[in-house]
Amino acid sequence: MTIEPVLTALDLTSDQLSGGDLSVTSPIDGREIAQVHQTPASEMGAVLDRAEAAFHAWRTVPAPRRGELVRLLGEELRAAKDELGAVVTLEAGKITSEGLGEVQEMIDICDFAVGLSRQLYGLTIASERPGHRMMETWHPLGPTAVITAFNFPVAVWSWNAALALVCGNPVIWKPSEKSPLTAMATMAIFNRALARFGDAPEGLAQLVIGGADLGDALVSSPRVPLVSATGSTRMGRIVGPKVAERFGRSILELGGNNAMIVAPSADLDMALRAIVFSAVGTAGQRCTSLRRLIVHESLREGLVANLARAYASLPIGDPRAEGTLVGPLIDKEALARMQAALEQARAEGGTVHGGEVVEGVAGGAYVRPAIVEMPAQSDIVRAETFAPILYVISYDRLDQAIALQNGVPQGLSSCIFTRDLREAETFLSAAGSDCGISNVNIGPSGAEIGGAFGGEKETGGGRESGSDAWKAYMRRATNTINYSDALPLAQGVRFDI
């Protein structure tokens, strides 16, 4: 598939794709594919004005009607799935099925949010006073900034935007400077939904293109009550305190260092397949990628040998080619960081299998995923390297395995492979995994949108997507209604005048 017709099919014009000062390259071959126009910093005031005006109109539109816009977005995404998936592959280097899977995730969250638009309800609460009733109401919060990372260039926007829009909030999107094309294509698709919807206010969903300074304009503005930021822990350390300082609300979705425990009773065939998918899928560039394998010492040797065999036969190369399972890293810097991590792992006593640079498409950063046997959970194992490196550590007792699983600064995703009910339940219990996502007999990556997504500790504590994550996008009001002819005070307080 050549990309020009795809971009045209997504309503992107050559003016939008050339003459700008932000060079967009494809990780497939490192070549420049567009020069897009960045949003001038001086524009940000007008962006916020439009968002506020949109908020004042949108917050009073009935929520099910707001849901109709998201329903139409889901329809437009279905119609443009192949084209948008192809742009994800071109700009983020994902293999074709993962590019399409990312768009499917957008469609799924739209479906979820449409249903949600009729379920934004609060509680009715018993009042201690006669003739009184208490209840909670949920109201739109205001302009919502969505700052996204390169590795899920479209799905993360949709997780936030679909919920924010049905909750009554306009959205301002600052995508990664490495993936503005996918963002532009998504906005073009959104505009098709808007045109069919008819009477949405201008500025309901805006896109600003640029780097960290543009993100900072949103993070620092008291006119943005909610900032949802996805990216590195380094970014979260800056963004979190800045939003907190102005008493804003943030949803932080930061780095992960995800583990799998393989227990003696595990179905090893299933475990092997889950390990390979979650450790090398998306070339190890998912926040939920498997990075640490904590394997019972009785299984270690055999499992590592089987994994090394599976890794040696992985098809690595052009992500558009049929059969490829491992595409490129995002850029040469990512490759250099991977090689540096492997060097450090060797210095910390590790034995490295794989990890070599391989021929892919000239100009791209292609690498064979690495398995690294470690004598202990050393410094490099405790850090997130955004590349396909799987550290293997062994354990003797389950409590040691859980301590290793929890013994890192990050807390995103985790899992155990076991057929022992006691082990599985212990892992899921209060004394088990400390992560936001804990699975049994499933790898740590590839979450469904129905559950709340996010993690603890340095992963930031935010939750997006399903379950009751919508509550972060709304403000809660507690209402007490007196339908009696008396004015009793709570707690029996007397104040007679």
By CB neighbour count within 10 A (0-12 exposed, 13-18 middle, 19+ buried), where does 201 fall? Answer: middle
Beta carbon of residue 78, minimum distance to ligand NAD (angstroms, whole number): 24
**Cα dist. 50→83, 141, 361 in Å?**
30, 16, 44
Beta carbon of residue 211, minimum distance to ligand NAD (angstroms, whole number): 5
The amino acid that residue 358 corresponds to is V
Beta carbon of residue 210, minimum distance to ligand NAD (angstroms, whole number): 8
Choice between 97 and 220, CB closer to ligand NAD: 220
Tokens of 93: 């280097």
Choice between 177 and 423, CB closer to ligand NAD: 177
Beta carbon of residue 220, minimum distance to ligand NAD (angstroms, whole number): 9
Beta carbon of residue 399, minimum distance to ligand NAD (angstroms, whole number): 27
Beta carbon of residue 226, minimum distance to ligand NAD (angstroms, whole number): 14
Choice between 149 and 166, CB closer to ligand NAD: 149
Q: Which residues bind ligand NAD (CB under 6 A)?
A: 147-152, 174, 176-177, 211-212, 215-216, 219, 230-232, 235, 238-239, 253-256, 287, 384, 386, 412, 459
Beta carbon of residue 105, minimum distance to ligand NAD (angstroms, whole number): 12
Choice between 168 and 364, CB closer to ligand NAD: 364
Choice between 364 and 460, CB closer to ligand NAD: 460
Choice between 288 and 377, CB closer to ligand NAD: 288
Tokens of 22: 């932000």
253 is catalytic: yes
Active-site pick, 287, 384, 458, 464: 287
Beta carbon of residue 119, minimum distance to ligand NAD (angstroms, whole number): 24
Active-site pick, 253, 384, 423, 458: 253
Opening angle at CA 466, ends 75 and 119, nearest 5: 80
Beta carbon of residue 173, minimum distance to ligand NAD (angstroms, whole number): 10
For tokens 């090394």, what's the residue?
Answer: 308
CB crowding 274-311: b at 16 or more within 10 Å, else e: bbbbbbbbbbbbbbbbbbbbbbbeebbeebbebbeebb
Choice between 300 and 337, CB closer to ligand NAD: 337
Choice between 224 and 307, CB closer to ligand NAD: 224
Choice between 72 and 287, CB closer to ligand NAD: 287
Cβ neighbors of 388 (< 8 A, separation 6 or more) are: 279, 280, 283, 284, 285, 289, 326, 338, 367, 369, 370
Q: In whole angstroms, what is the distance from residue 17 CA to residue 39 CA?
A: 14
**Alpha-carbon 127 to chain mean position:** 40
Cβ neighbors of 309 (< 8 A, separation 6 or more) are: none
For tokens 């099910």, what's the residue?
Answer: 64
- CA torsion 236-164-145-140 (nearest 10°) is -110
Q: Catalytic residue positions?
A: 253, 287
